[in-house]
A and B are shown apart, each in its own frame.
Chain A
Amino acid sequence: MSFINYSSREINCKLVYYGPGLCGKTTNLQYIYNKTRPEAKGKMISLATETERTLFFDFLPLSLGEIRGFKTRFHLYTVPGQVFYDASRKLILKGVDGVCFVADSQEERYDANIESLENLRLNLNEQGYDLDKLPYVVQYNKRDLPNAMSVAELSKSLNGTQVPEFEGVATTGVGVFDTLKMLAKLVLAELRKGT
């Protein structure tokens, strides 16, 4: 849950990028890092294996500016997508304020998407959260690949609750900021409702 510091007038929120292995979660964060003004971002930390697969998490702190006198800080995290890192994924979800599910649009990753989404729901439930009650968006990544499934097909199987969804090509930045912006918006809107 968010940390509201009335003393220093700061709001800290935690956003988590979830999805199957190699779907582009880290690439989303890298693009955001590369395109953000230096004064608005902190250091990006990647706890990765020697082959650059996420081992524990990536972390990117963003300061987006002030709203009504409150500085808004978003801490972006990715989880390790590979199936066997489930224990680590659960830890990253602790204290989450908003979730982005990054799906891999390629046909051969269809089952991996489904499995990862079920895993997200399950792991959230274990922490006492309900995905349907959290600020939540979906990004269909890798839209540039020839074997990408149609958005309609992906949406039907991955976005039954019809949360905001975006087409993405994280390597070139397509949809990356639209996704982040919508998620941040949903999180702040949730905060507006009060505690």
Chain B
Amino acid sequence: MNPQLVMFEEELKQIQKIADRLQQDSRARSILLIDKNGALVAAAGAAHELDTTSLSSLVAGNVAATGGIAKLLQEDEFTGQFHEGKGMSINLSLVGRRIILVVLFDKNTTPGLVRLRVKRAQDELVPIFEELAKKALSPQSSPLPDITDQDIDNLFND
């Protein structure tokens, strides 16, 4: 069972910087960092053109299915996936055990360059997410300490 994922300002800035640089260095269109449960963590490049919520859920489903196949074949995990389209291609790779790094790219770059730049970004991202995992385990105050039943009811009032 994966522990809860948390994100803080400081780590998000570091992650954003790495994603922005990866997008520029690899000449990709967009970079997405997605939690294995399907939530978007960070994005760079032309991500605003995308339905990132749907993409995140489908990418997570895809990675989960591939992980299931790996398990059946007694492989620990398949750490990378590549889908080639006529216009757009996707490179998926794992960062640690919890995060999926997605690179969307077109003819402006090559799969080789993308893979090369991804490797460097992965190495930089792993320690940041390890730090976040540690922070998630350390006792901290709940984000919703004073929440009342009325607050929850209000969410459904319209």
A45 and B11 alpha carbons, distance in the complex (Å): 31
CB pair A42–B54 under 8 Å, yes or no, is yes
Judge whether A114 is part of the interface by a CB distance below 8 angstroms. Answer: no
CB pair B51–A42 under 8 Å, yes or no, is yes
Judge whether B27 is part of the interface by a CB distance below 8 angstroms. Answer: no
For B68, the chain A residues whose CB sits under 8 A away are: 87-88, 90-91
A87 and B41 alpha carbons, distance in the complex (Å): 27
A150 and B72 alpha carbons, distance in the complex (Å): 42
Interface string of B40-82 (1 = CB under 8 A from A): 0100000000010110011001001101100010000000000
CB pair A195–B139 under 8 Å, yes or no, is yes
Residues of A within 8 A of B (CB-CB), count: 49
For B7, the chain A residues whose CB sits under 8 A away are: 3-8
Number of CB contacts from chain A to chain B under 8 A = 143
For B144, the chain A residues whose CB sits under 8 A away are: 11, 67-68, 70, 188, 191-192
CB pair B156–A64 under 8 Å, yes or no, is yes
A128 and B51 alpha carbons, distance in the complex (Å): 32
Judge whether B113 is part of the interface by a CB distance below 8 angstroms. Answer: no
For A177, the chain B residues whose CB sits under 8 A away are: 156
For A70, the chain B residues whose CB sits under 8 A away are: 143-144
Residues of B within 8 A of A (CB-CB), count: 46
Which residue of chain A is the closest to B4 with respect to CB atoms? Answer: A1
Q: Which of A14, A37, A94, A127 is the most central at the interface, judged by chain B CB atoms within 10 Å of its CB?
A: A94
Q: Which of A6, A37, A47 is the most central at the interface, judged by chain B CB atoms within 10 Å of its CB?
A: A6
Q: Which residues of A contact B (CB under 8 A)?
A: 1-8, 11-12, 14, 37, 42-43, 45, 47, 56-57, 59, 61, 64-65, 67-68, 70, 72-73, 75, 87-88, 90-92, 94-95, 127-129, 177, 181, 184-185, 188-189, 191-195
Excluding A6-B7, A64-B155, 8 further A-B contacts by CB distance (< 8 Å) are A3-B37, A12-B35, A59-B58, A67-B151, A68-B147, A73-B39, A90-B68, A192-B145
Q: Which residues of B contact A (CB under 8 A)?
A: 1-9, 11-12, 35-39, 41, 51, 53-54, 57-58, 61, 64-65, 67-68, 72, 136, 139-147, 149, 151-156, 158
